[in-house]
């Protein structure tokens, strides 16, 4: 273990030498989340006496805990090595981009026309109507966590809500009160779904507020406070599915519950966000089967029904609330596959790192920001949820880049076609 820790420190040092840190770096977001998870889990296992033991997962031997901790460190080292190899084989231009800090490039200076503001207001009421059509009174109170709804409409609501969040975040600079009120109302009704995507809405809004208000000390302090709140908000969202009743009303009532002290609730949020996933991984290794077909299905970008996911989905859960984790699934396949998988993950994140830095260099901040948010979802889901649920966010990020590339190619060719027609 000591050798692995020293190796991790050495690779981290090399990483800081080749890749300059900045706030939205997907590589550093991945590494920092992994480090916090490893350190917090070790502290929790050895020094936190009154354990939460959610779903009785904390009751593991020291030998099992240390073995999984060793695998997490190996995975993180493999990820960093993937980044270092990608950097080493890259062209000089790419290396220069990696060596450059893009902190100042994050901040926007823009002017919005009235059409955007009016669109935001209209879109807000369209989303409200769609919620009522899709969920009815169930959005406010219901018995089932996942009611029967039109899947197409629920996806449409999420997409439109994401667009609305972007508009409200950009409008905040000139209309702080209106933007804040509309966002809080949108967040309140969105909470009624219990979906983790609400966290993405919150993170998207505070990030856009940050990058649109300049590189000032006040803005940085405010953003830091917002990040802490977002972390607590994520933990709150993740607990909602365990309640007896669901919807906006039961979820808001749960905040004022006196069953837990504030301090213990705070530590539970830390536990759920960074530590719980380690114990899910331990149980995943114990209960899951060594099946390569599940790996292939999890990596398959096709819809679940076409990939055969639903033939296995019910068998890949610790219980009704806790699915097997990505890390547990990978670790189950052995050391060699663990090294290869996370090495390739490091290469993939390096690819996105390069793309995001290029986008920032071209002042395409909103697009780079969207891709980072999607990659953050992969990071969070990879530590607590099944492999397929986490991998799909990488595919979403690839799809967005492909869509932007194809759009740019079409736009570039339009003048040429016009010229050919004139001749």
Q: Please name every residue paired with 323 in a beta bridge, in sequence order, or none if there are none.
A: 317
Residue 254: which H helix or E strand, with range? Answer: helix 248-255
Alpha carbon distances (Å) from 231 to 47, 199, 202, 210, 255: 22, 9, 10, 16, 15
For 341-372, the pLDDT digits (tens) are 999 999 999 999 999 999 888 888 778 888 98
For 60-117, the pLDDT digits (tens) are 899 999 999 999 999 999 999 999 999 999 999 999 999 988 877 777 777 777 788 8
Q: Which pLDDT value is given to residue 266?
A: 64
Q: Please name every residue paired with 246 in a beta bridge, in sequence order, or none if there are none.
A: 142
Chain centroid to Cα 159, Å, comes to 16
- Percent of the chain exceeding pLDDT 90 equals 33
Judged by average pLDDT, the poorest of 1-15, 161-175, 218-232, 327-341 is: 218-232
- Round the average pLDDT of the chain to a whole number and report it: 85
Q: Which parts of 258-362 fold into alpha helices (H)?
A: 262-270, 276-287, 292-299, 304-307, 326-332, 335-361
Does pLDDT of 284 surpass 80?
A: yes
For 39-50, the pLDDT digits (tens) are 999 999 998 888
Does pLDDT of 182 surpass 90?
A: yes
> What value, to the nearest 5°, has the Cα angle with vertex 68 and ends 389 and 334?
75
Q: Which token pair is 358?
A: 């290029």
- Asked if 208 and 166 count as a contact pair (C-beta separation under 8 A), the reply is yes
Within 8 A by CB and 6+ apart from 66, the residues are 1
Does pLDDT of 174 surpass 90?
A: no
Residue 414: which H helix or E strand, with range? Answer: helix 387-422
Rg of the chain's alpha carbons, rounded to an integer? 22
């Amino acid at each position: 273990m000591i050798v692995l820790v020293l190796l991790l420190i050495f690779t981290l040092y090399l990483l800081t030498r080749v890749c300059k840190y900045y706030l939205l770096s997907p590589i550093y977001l991945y590494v920092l989340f992994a480090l916090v998870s490893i350190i917090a889990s070790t502290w929790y296992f050895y020094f936190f006496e009154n354990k939460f033991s959610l779903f009785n997962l904390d009751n593991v031997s020291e030998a099992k805990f240390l073995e999984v901790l060793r695998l997490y460190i190996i995975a993180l080292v493999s990820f960093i090595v993937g980044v270092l190899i990608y950097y080493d084989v890259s062209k000089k231009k790419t290396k220069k981009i990696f060596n450059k800090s893009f902190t100042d490039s994050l901040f926007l200076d823009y002017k919005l026309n009235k059409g955007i503001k009016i669109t935001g207001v209209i879109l807000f009421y369209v989303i409200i109507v769609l919620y009522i059509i899709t969920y009815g009174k169930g959005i406010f109170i219901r018995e089932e966590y996942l009611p029967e709804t039109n899947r197409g409409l629920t996806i449409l609501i999420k997409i439109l809500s994401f667009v609305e969040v972007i508009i409200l975040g950009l409008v905040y600079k000139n209309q702080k009160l209106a933007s804040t009120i509309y966002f809080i109302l949108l967040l309140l009704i969105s909470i009624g779904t219990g979906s983790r995507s609400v966290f993405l809405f919150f993170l998207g809004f505070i990030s856009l507020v940050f990058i649109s208000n300049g590189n000032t000390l006040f803005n940085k302090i405010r953003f830091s406070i917002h990040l802490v709140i977002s972390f607590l908000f994520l933990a709150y969202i993740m607990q909602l599915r365990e309640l007896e009743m669901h919807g906006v009303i039961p979820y808001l009532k749960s905040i004022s519950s006196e069953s837990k002290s504030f301090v213990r609730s705070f530590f539970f949020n830390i536990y759920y966000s960074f530590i719980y996933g380690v114990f899910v991984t331990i149980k995943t290794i114990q209960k899951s089967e060594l099946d390569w077909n599940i790996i292939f299905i999890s990596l398959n970008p096709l819809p679940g029904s076409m990939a055969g996911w639903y033939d296995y989905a019910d068998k890949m859960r610790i219980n009704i609330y806790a699915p097997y984790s990505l890390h547990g699934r990978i670790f189950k396949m052995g050391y060699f596959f663990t090294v290869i998988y996370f090495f390739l993950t490091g290469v993939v994140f390096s690819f996105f790192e390069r793309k995001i830095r290029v986008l920032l260099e071209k002042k395409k901040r909103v697009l780079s920001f969207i891709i980072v948010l999607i990659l953050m979802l992969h990071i969070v889901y990879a530590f607590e949820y099944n492999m397929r649920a986490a991998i799909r966010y990488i595919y979403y990020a690839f799809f967005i880049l492909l869509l932007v590339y194809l759009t740019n190619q079409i736009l570039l060719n339009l003048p040429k076609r016009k010229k050919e027609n004139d001749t």
